[in-house]
Amino acid sequence: MPSTHNRDKPWDTPDIDKWKLEEFKPEDNISGQSFTEESSFMTLFPKYREQYLKSIWSDVTRALDKHFLACQLDLVEGSMTVKTTRKTFDPAMILKARDLIKLLARSVPFPQAVKILQDDVACDVIKIGNFVTNKDRFVKRRQRLVGPNGNTLKALELLTKCYILVQGNTVSAMGPFKGLKEVRRVVEDCMRNIHPIYYIKELMIKQELAKNPELAEEDWSRFLPMFKKRNVARKKPKSDKKKEKKVYTPFPPSQLPRKVDLQIESGEYFLGKKQKEGKKLDEKREKQEETTAARKVEREKDFEAPEEEVYENKLKKDKKDKKEKKEKKRSRDEDGEGAGKKDKKKSKRSKKEEDEDDH
């Protein structure tokens, strides 16, 4: 049976752009009536965003009033709510408003987040917290996505034409649908230990190929780089501890005593219920006394006077040094004079003895 759908369509001319998104106006709502039910969305926000949201909330209400949407900020509960009103004519705008409050909660600044209300802008919040269990590894891979001085992120933004913000356990992206798809692929693979530089190279080549109209209907796979994963064997650090060789014994190790056996040995097994409770209380009190004594010693450490350096008056010290030097000088002079007198006496005696011998 021949198809009845293959008919001439005089209105379908080649100059029509079928992918163009036209603005939704009040005239497009043919019924002209308000929505039968109220639609609302609520998003929680972290405590550190409270101050910023308070400052920009008047701008948020002004932006949503243009599309006849109501919004509410609850600081007690820590939530943002958007809902339709009786004047709302665009049914898709409530979804855009939901994305707006979601982006504001994820630390996207308001001047950037408000662009989501445009028809040609979409958003994607990518969760990256569940990819890696080790916290240090997670931080390293997240930093790898940002790059040195944020260069990797800037390159991705230029190639995908998207705004990207890495915050905590999420990556927020805004832009065209095609760019968002690339951003998600790069982010998820980065958290799976594939470096984003490979994708940046691939995107740069694709951008150059798109400029050539001759290659529009050809396969680009031959131009794109093929990166093979290489498992490089890394040397493990040698442990200094040498394993001691155990003596081989064919017999199994002796069986450990049961809890009941230990209680029988200590005599606890034969105690009554009250005695057991009393023993436990005594042990508890002993532990409490030990901890209180240890804490008391720690507290008293703060009140111990620190060792202070003895203050010495430099002027007095200089005076003492001068006095000591003078005294030493005097003693030396006195010793010199005494020795001179003795030498004179000795010389006189020796002269007398010589005269006597001559006579």
pLDDT value for 15? 81
- Flag whether 337 is in a domain: no
Question: Do residues 36 and 110 both lie within one domain?
Answer: yes
Tens place of pLDDT per residue across the chain (359 aa): 456 777 777 777 878 877 777 888 888 887 777 888 899 999 999 999 999 999 999 999 999 999 999 999 999 999 999 999 998 888 889 999 999 999 999 999 999 999 999 988 999 999 999 999 899 999 999 999 999 999 999 999 999 999 999 998 999 999 999 999 999 999 999 999 888 998 899 899 888 888 888 887 788 787 877 776 666 666 666 666 667 788 888 888 888 899 999 989 888 888 888 888 898 899 999 999 999 999 999 888 888 777 777 666 777 777 778 888 888 888 887 776 666 665 666 666 666 666 665 55
- Residue 79: strand pairing partners: 44, 74
- Flag whether 182 is in a domain: yes
Which range of residues forms the domain containing residue 32?
Answer: 24-119
| Identity of the residue numbered 272 | G
- pTM assigned to the model: 0.59
- Flag whether 217 is in a domain: yes
pLDDT value for 254? 86
Local structure of 51: helix, strand or coil:
helix
Residue found under tokens 């308001």: 110
Question: Do residues 114 and 33 both lie within one domain?
Answer: yes
Question: Do residues 172 and 197 both lie within one domain?
Answer: yes
Question: Do residues 28 and 105 both lie within one domain?
Answer: yes
Question: Do residues 108 and 126 both lie within one domain?
Answer: no
pLDDT value for 349? 65
pLDDT value for 104? 94
Q: Sheet harboring 163-167: ordered strands across?
A: 122-127, 170-175, 163-167
Question: Do residues 109 and 136 both lie within one domain?
Answer: no
Local structure of 45: helix, strand or coil:
coil
Distance CA 326, CA 331 (A): 9
Q: Among residues 209, 162, 154, 166, which one has the least CA distance to residue 182?
A: 162
Residue found under tokens 């809890």: 259
Q: Which residues of 78-87 are buried (b: 16+ CB within 10 A; e: fewer)?
A: bebbbbbeee
- Flag whether 238 is in a domain: no
| Of the residues 298, 317, 345, the one at which a domain ends | 298
| Identity of the residue numbered 89 | F
Distance CA 12, CA 10 (A): 6
Question: Do residues 73 and 129 both lie within one domain?
Answer: no
pLDDT value for 350? 66
Residue found under tokens 């958007």: 82
**Sequence-ordered alpha helix ranges (H) in the chain:** 50-65, 93-105, 110-113, 135-146, 151-160, 177-191, 196-210, 259-266, 273-303, 314-358
Distance CA 276, CA 282 (A): 10
The domain total for the chain is 3
- Flag whether 82 is in a domain: yes
pLDDT value for 181? 94
Question: Do residues 143 and 193 both lie within one domain?
Answer: yes
Regarding beta strands 79-84 and 69-74, do their DSSP bridges make them parallel or antiparallel, or are they unpaired? Answer: antiparallel
Question: Do residues 268 and 283 both lie within one domain?
Answer: yes
| Of the residues 62, 96, 119, the one at which a domain ends | 119
- Flag whether 237 is in a domain: no
pLDDT value for 331? 81
| Of the residues 298, 325, 345, the one at which a domain ends | 298
Residue pair 89/45 in contact by the 8 Å Cβ criterion: no
Q: Which CATH number belongs to the domain containing residue 112 in this structure? A: 3.30.1370.10
- Flag whether 135 is in a domain: yes
pLDDT value for 114? 94
Q: Among residues 161, 219, 156, which one has the least CA distance to residue 189?
A: 156
Residue pair 41/98 in contact by the 8 Å Cβ criterion: yes
Question: Do residues 49 and 77 both lie within one domain?
Answer: yes
Question: Do residues 160 and 217 both lie within one domain?
Answer: yes
pLDDT value for 169? 92
Question: Do residues 80 and 141 both lie within one domain?
Answer: no
pLDDT value for 98? 95
Distance CA 207, CA 203 (A): 6
- Flag whether 31 is in a domain: yes
